[in-house]
Amino acid sequence: MNGYERLLATIRGQAADRTPVAPQLFGHAAHLCNVSLRDYEQSGALMADCQLRMQAHYRSDAVFAFMDFCVESEALGSRVRFYDTQYPEIVDYVLPAQADAGALRLPDPMADGRLPEMLRGIAALRAGLGDRVLLTGCLLGPMTLAAQLYGIENALFLAADMPERYETALDFATACAIRYGQAQLAAGAHLVTVFDPAASPAVVPPAFFRQLLLPRLQRLLAALRRAGALATWLNIAGPTAPILASYPAAGADIATFDYEVSVAEACRLLPDSCLVGNLKALDFLDAHPERITLAARQLVDACRERGRFILSSGCEIPPESAPANIAALLAACDAGG
């Protein structure tokens, strides 16, 4: 089996030759190739080249087409500052506090900001990976994009002070995500992972997920499926135990869970979903590779009988992580899973 076949079989609950590994490696590709994050984030061709070289090095089963969390907001008019060794920040949000997101125009993925660069990068990645390795596009979920339009503090105050206007922002963010996700699939992504860290119970009460996000995720994930996504993938970091059981109702086939949720609890809450997790991302910085191997094998063993498990970290592996630790993660499945 190649990585694509291995992942597809696992997602569908079919037998695979071993547990697939899909480490969340984004900016680490730039680090590995001695490219600054500033350059990596502004060229789809360079992003794709670094990701392809990294995949050839580690031989992971999936590749994430991801630049940074500012891409969508910048395309809508936010001003972004770039750095060489850390991800960019938004220095001027497109929406002032309490402004109406309904006044914004939906972005054109072929023309606005760095969206076209991302699409060029996805096309280059698919050309390089074919159907040997699974290629996933990446989107901000509605709550995180809303936070990136106002700044998270203003977005959260808006949710409390003017809930109807906040819902307008969530609807606009959902429409943006659908359009951009469709474009990523058309450019060659096999599926699209929806990242919504602002929906974590560490940020908002679980009721927010159920009442405000769930109906919008249903629209988003259904639209991605209609646009040809092989499966739907929801990725929310942090202590997500109070919301995991709602993921199937959102339409998510694949669920990432972080180190703050035990594998036993994730299996209990999502008995029929494909799980992805949940190594502690910061361990990849300077823990000993043996620690990574041990933790990875424990996870693989814990999920061996249930199947439908993809080995990964619970959130992004830091760009400056030690390559030996990432190699240990991949080797854990080669040897034991």
Question: Considering Cα of 75, then 79, then 83, then 85, what sign does the dihedral take?
Answer: negative
Looking at the Cβ atoms of 75 and 159, the one nearer to another protein is 159
Residue 326 C-beta: closest distance to another protein, Å: 14
Q: What is the DSSP letter of 21?
A: B
Looking at the Cβ atoms of 202 and 214, the one nearer to another protein is 202
- Is residue 191 helix, strand or coil? strand
Contacting residue, 66, 208, 233, 309, with another protein by CB under 8 A: 208
Residue 228 C-beta: closest distance to another protein, Å: 34
Looking at the Cβ atoms of 27 and 188, the one nearer to another protein is 27
Q: Where are the alpha helices (DSSP H) in the chain?
A: 3-11, 28-32, 37-40, 44-58, 71-75, 115-129, 142-150, 152-161, 163-187, 206-208, 214-226, 241-244, 247-250, 263-269, 283-286, 289-303, 323-336
Looking at the Cβ atoms of 138 and 147, the one nearer to another protein is 147
Looking at the Cβ atoms of 158 and 252, the one nearer to another protein is 158
**In angstroms, rounded to a whole number, what is the distance separating the alpha carbons of residues 256 and 278?**
8
Looking at the Cβ atoms of 192 and 243, the one nearer to another protein is 243
Residue 89 C-beta: closest distance to another protein, Å: 5
Count each helix (H run) and each strand (E run) in the chain, helices first: 17, 9
Size of the site for another protein (CB under 8 A): 28
User: Of 42-50, 126-134, 223-231, 316-324, which part binds another protein (CB under 8 A)?
Assistant: 316-324
Residue 265 C-beta: closest distance to another protein, Å: 12
The footprint of another protein on residues 107-136 (CB under 8 A) is none
**In angstroms, rounded to a whole number, what is the distance separating the alpha carbons of residues 147 and 155?**
5
Strand partners, 87: none
User: Of 79-87, 121-129, 165-173, 248-256, which part binds another protein (CB under 8 A)?
Assistant: 79-87
**In angstroms, rounded to a whole number, what is the distance separating the alpha carbons of residues 81 and 70?**
10
Q: Interhelix angle for 214-226 vs 142-150, to 10°?
A: 110
The footprint of another protein on residues 242-301 (CB under 8 A) is 259, 280-283, 285
Looking at the Cβ atoms of 91 and 110, the one nearer to another protein is 91
Q: Which residues contact 3 (CB under 8 A, 6 or more apart)?
A: 20, 59, 60, 61, 62, 132, 133, 134
Whole-angstrom CA distances from 279 to 13, 75, 237, 260 are: 22, 33, 12, 10
The footprint of another protein on residues 148-207 (CB under 8 A) is 152-153, 156-157, 159-160, 201-205
Query: From residue 82 to residue 101, what is the string marking binding to another protein with x (rule CB under 8 A)?
Result: ---xxx-x------------
Residue 69 C-beta: closest distance to another protein, Å: 11
Residue 144 C-beta: closest distance to another protein, Å: 13
Nearest to 51 by CA among 160, 126, 146, 152: 126
Contacting residue, 215, 239, 248, 307, with another protein by CB under 8 A: 239
Residue 129 C-beta: closest distance to another protein, Å: 27
Contacting residue, 17, 290, 301, 320, with another protein by CB under 8 A: 320
Looking at the Cβ atoms of 160 and 264, the one nearer to another protein is 160
Question: Considering Cα of 178, then 184, then 190, then 194, what sign does the dihedral take?
Answer: negative
Strand partners, 254: 233, 274
Q: What residues line the site for another protein (CB under 8 A)?
A: 85-87, 89, 152-153, 156-157, 159-160, 201-205, 208, 238-239, 259, 280-283, 285, 318-321
